[in-house]
Chain A
Amino acid sequence: MNNVLYPYRQKSCNFELDWIKIELFFTLVCEEQLWIFYTLLLQPKPENAITIGVSARVLFNMEKEQQIYEQQGMEEYIKYQVEHETQPFSPGPAFSFVKALEAVNTRLRELYPESEELFDVVLMTNNHAYVGLRLINTINYHKLFIERFCMTGGNSPIGYLKAYHTNLYLSADPVKVREALEEGIAAATMFTPEKITEVSETQLRVAFDGDAVLFSDESERIYKAHGLDKFFEHEKTHENKLQMDPVILLYSFCCLQGPLKGFLEALGKLQKKFYGKGQRMDCPIRTYLVTARSAASSGTRALKTLRSWGLEIDEALFLAGAPKGPMLEKIRPHIFFDDQMFHVEGAAEMGTVACHVPYGIAQRITKKGIHDKETSSAPQES
């Protein structure tokens, strides 16, 4: 089977609109099937913030209220919320993550007082605005810096996520998370561990699984089908970046990236701002790759792909199939993303705040099972 790619080059052109920069790359022609694709890369201008949408249920502990909603219905739920308006919620699984984002912002403001390249946390909830005052009171009580919110009163938050150019959406509702992913927004379902391991208040730590999170889950298949291995073998390093055929680079960029690649990229951009001021050792952001792959070939391939995208990861842990829970307990990330519930549950059992990214082939089999559970969960809550 001759699946060789014949690169067809065009001039690349860029143009800028108010808030986005569009780069038109090369086109690619494959001999087998004459498919040609163009890629339009929409990049938010660097001046813009990294927007993180969090739902109320992951930011705060609303278990009791959720129970009331499920067992007694909407009216009772609202009544309870309003009656307890002055009682702040206790922190939820996303709380320490948000606090860590704020710690990073504080450090960024010290170094770059004029810059708007900061984390911007938006409370994105399905709740009615009746519950709004209790949420605002709680934000005040915990001294969080959340000034933007959307309380959609039962409507889907997806449109608002897009309107805010959300870089990452965290919710307890897997239906909304899947909707967001389908719209091209990085999203994950956050679970609450029984007991949350203490995490750093000064350094944000984010851990990612590789396949179907940073990389497309079909990367293995694509590599083999198009013999991309040989392109990665003959690498030349130049200023810490791989020198590759730009067409292959483009191809890998389009077809191999996973839903959270953009978020890692955003973290990397902020990290470089600290490096630029000589704060590499003391950087308040640290990223981890925690993968079931082994270090040999498939593991190094992962790292090479990341480098070809201009991305760096601080620590890569290749577990060669071993459970992730104990490793994560050592790392103590504020948040861990994985596409497989098995790993998410394993991590949560050991105290890590783990999020499920319902993306890729693994989901298509389990989708039916989850759907039955969803019909009994609260559609209005998020």
Chain B
Amino acid sequence: MVSTIQNTDVKQKDADRAVVVAVTSRAVFESGADGDDVYGMGVAFPLLQALQRVNERLLEENPAESLLFDVVLITTDSQQQQQSSRIISSTRHYGLEVSRFCFSSEEDFVESLQKNNVQLFLSTDRNEVPQASQKGVLSALLDRQEAPSEQLRVMFCGDAVNRPDAGPMPASRQAAQSFSAQLGEMRQRFGMSDSPLSIVLMTSHGGRESCGGALRTLRSRGVNVDEAYCLAGAPLSPILSVVRPHFLLSDGFSGLED
């Protein structure tokens, strides 16, 4: 069963322009003792704060801005569905800018994502991510951050950006293209330095041509990249621990195999 509840504490976003980001409640909140009314802060907490900060800065630049992040909290299993009131009260307790709560189960959470026009789905669950991706929803795996930055840092994995334009585009690739274009537009609202959002490109296997190609492709979508790392086969994790992206996006499956 799928249900959606609006958060009346938060102003609803423009359905046509906002970038809908769904994050699983399991990622945002850590379940504490059963007696507690309010959950603890989970892995995705810093990410939500970073998204919020981007919105605040966008509205500072233009109080009538409609290109904002629209954060939706989604439960993806029946057990969580039982906890609906705690999820809502915890959200309010922390003053999180969540506009809607979607309650669903394992079988129908992807349907819920589609119904809510979700453009990016973020989860800590390694099974949920490919499930959503296969149905055309751009998805990424969330991991615990050592020292999460205040700035929202989004990483595109470039080896996936360059694909020959052969054959029909898989649905999630289309989602990736439109999401990246929106992100690029958001980024342009800010100057070179002191941006609340940083767009990072990494190519892990190819050489400089591969990275150069990815830069050009992204630019053609209106995405100007802030940072670029061309690894050319060097190990990923040392670089990732310095870059500290909140999440990584690659076509199809997200989550890099180290």
Question: Which residues of chain A have a CB within 8 Å of any CB of chain B?
Answer: 74-75, 78, 128-130, 132-133, 136-137, 139-140, 146-155, 159-160, 162-164, 380
Contact = CB atoms under 8 A, between A and B. Distances in A.
Nearest to A148: B232
Contacts of A133: 212, 215-216
28 contacts: A75-B191, A75-B192, A128-B192, A128-B226, A129-B224, A129-B228, A132-B212, A132-B215, A133-B216, A136-B209, A140-B208, A146-B208, A147-B207, A147-B230, A147-B232, A148-B231, A149-B228, A149-B230, A150-B228, A151-B227, A153-B226, A153-B227, A154-B192, A154-B193, A154-B226, A155-B227, A159-B242, A163-B241
Contacts of A162: 238, 242
A156 to B, nearest CB: 9
Interface of B: 191-193, 198, 200-201, 207-209, 211-212, 215-216, 224-232, 234, 238-239, 241-242
Given A74-B193, A150-B229, 5 more contacts: A78-B192, A129-B226, A148-B231, A153-B198, A162-B242
B191 A129 contact: no
Contacts of B193: 74, 154, 380
**Residue of A78, A136, A380 with highest tally of chain B CB at under 10 A:** A136
B230 A148 contact: yes
Contacts of A380: 193
A39 B225 CA distance: 43
B201 to A, nearest CB: 6
A129 B242 contact: no
Given A148-B230, A148-B232, A149-B228, A163 B242 contact: yes
Contacts of B229: 149-151, 160
Contacts of A147: 207-208, 230, 232
A149 B226 contact: no
B234 A164 contact: yes
B215 A152 contact: no
B55 to A, nearest CB: 22
Nearest to A146: B208
**Residue of A132, A140, A146, A162 with highest tally of chain B CB at under 10 A:** A132
Contacts of B242: 159-160, 162-163
B198 A132 contact: no
Q: Closest 7 CB pairs between A and B? A: A163-B238, A129-B228, A147-B207, A159-B242, A153-B227, A153-B226, A147-B232
Nearest to B238: A163
A137 B227 CA distance: 17
B192 A74 contact: yes
Contact of A136 (B191, B208, B227, B231): B208
B178 to A, nearest CB: 21
A148 B234 contact: yes
Given A153-B226, A159-B242, A163-B242, A136 B211 contact: yes
Nearest to B207: A147
A136 B211 CA distance: 9
A154 B190 CA distance: 15
A152 B193 CA distance: 12
A139 B208 contact: yes
A209 to B, nearest CB: 32
**Residue of A78, A129, A132, A152 with highest tally of chain B CB at under 10 A:** A129
Nearest to A78: B192
A87 to B, nearest CB: 16
A44 to B, nearest CB: 13
Contact of A152 (B211, B216, B224, B227): B227
Nearest to B224: A130
Contacts of A132: 211-212, 215, 225, 228
A30 to B, nearest CB: 38
Contacts of A146: 208
A140 to B, nearest CB: 8
A146 B207 CA distance: 8
Contact of B239 (A75, A128, A153, A163): A163
Contact of A149 (B208, B209, B241): B208
Contacts of B231: 148
B227 A129 contact: yes
A45 to B, nearest CB: 14
A155 B194 CA distance: 11
B207 A160 contact: no
Contacts of A151: 227-229
A148 B192 CA distance: 24
Contacts of B241: 163
A78 B207 CA distance: 24
A238 to B, nearest CB: 40
A169 to B, nearest CB: 15
Nearest to B227: A153
B51 to A, nearest CB: 20
Contacts of B192: 74-75, 78, 128, 154
A274 to B, nearest CB: 26
Contacts of A153: 198, 200, 226-227
B184 to A, nearest CB: 12
A152 B244 CA distance: 12
Contacts of B228: 129, 132, 149-151
A151 B241 CA distance: 16
B223 to A, nearest CB: 10
Given A75-B191, A148-B231, A152-B227, A129 B215 contact: yes
A182 B177 CA distance: 43
Contacts of A129: 201, 215, 224-228
A48 to B, nearest CB: 11
